[in-house]
Amino acid sequence: MPAFSVTSPGKIILFGEHAVVYGEPAIATPVFPTQAKAIVSARIQGKPGEIWIEAPDISLSTSIDKLEKNHPLRSAIQIVIGDKDLDQVPSCNIQVISEIPPSSGMGSSAAISISIIRAFSAFLGIRLNDEQVSNFAYEVEKIHHGTPSGIDNTVISYQKPVYYRKGNPFEFLEIAEEFSVLIAYSGMPGNTREAVEGVRARWQKEPDRYNQIFSRMGEITQEAKVIIETGNPDHLGSLMNENHELLQEIGVSTPELDQLVLEARNAGALGAKLSGGGLGGHIIALVKSNIDYISRELEKKGAISTLITPVTNRDFNR
């Protein structure tokens, strides 16, 4: 039996983080240059039902039976088995490799889950569509994040840019003019749960002020959607800058992220902001020229790594 290998991209939020929790829209897009991979192969000497998982990035090599029942890697496998009501599966090895920094706001956990779900299903001869994969991954994401928005599993499963408002269906965006975003990782892991809880506590103390901020974030996201779907993406830069100022106001940026944002702008980016939960993680910058120079300057100022991703409707992995 051949090995089955699946890669899944990371993701970034372009606009709307935090405000999306309060009913405002958000825009997110896949990041194809950084990916998570799962490889499933038959375990020749294994007993029926024995599944061995290897994840060298976290120094894990064990049978899934020895993992906690709610361990995310075990859950990604068990959700396929349980949904298909399989009594027993062929013995197999599952290897997981990820380039996506964990706790960076780039969808590492969702990308790993989706790669496992797709590769393991293919090994079993089960065909899953994007919606099924996304739904399975969402159930696994609940283990990581409690009540996730569903953005990560949707963007990564469908591998398309999305526009989302809580309580409404996801809307896939048509990109009128492809543009490039530079991602710089601060090297400081973000803490989405802490950031979200902190914002909620401050919102409860000053609801009028925070609702005004969230409302403006929502307007920025809607303006960005129009630009993305009609062209002239250079105009997104000023919206990024304003969005970052609002994220600073609600207390989710850090001096290190602010420094990287400022350096990106000074080096020639059309705009820059933190992306994701904040309190660490990464920044994004809208770039059109001198990209190598901007990347070098950010690394001089403390970025651990940088990469460029297109925002596009092109299909990279399929």
- Closest Cα partner for 129 from 118, 138, 120? 118
d(CA 265, CA 189): 23
Of 153, 311, 147, 152, nearest to 233 by C-alpha is 311
Of these residues, 152, 208, 292, 315, which one is catalytic? 152
All residues at 6 or more sequence positions from 246 whose CB lies less than 8 Å from its CB, including other chains: 213, 216, 217, 220
> How many Å apart are CA 237 and CA 224, to the nearest integer?
10
CA 200 – CA 175 distance, rounded (Å)? 33
Tell me which residue of 31, 44, 9 sits closest to 118, measured CA to CA.
Answer: 9
- CA 156 → CA 151, 210, 211, distances in Å? 8, 30, 30
Is 208 in the active site?
no
Catalytic positions: 152
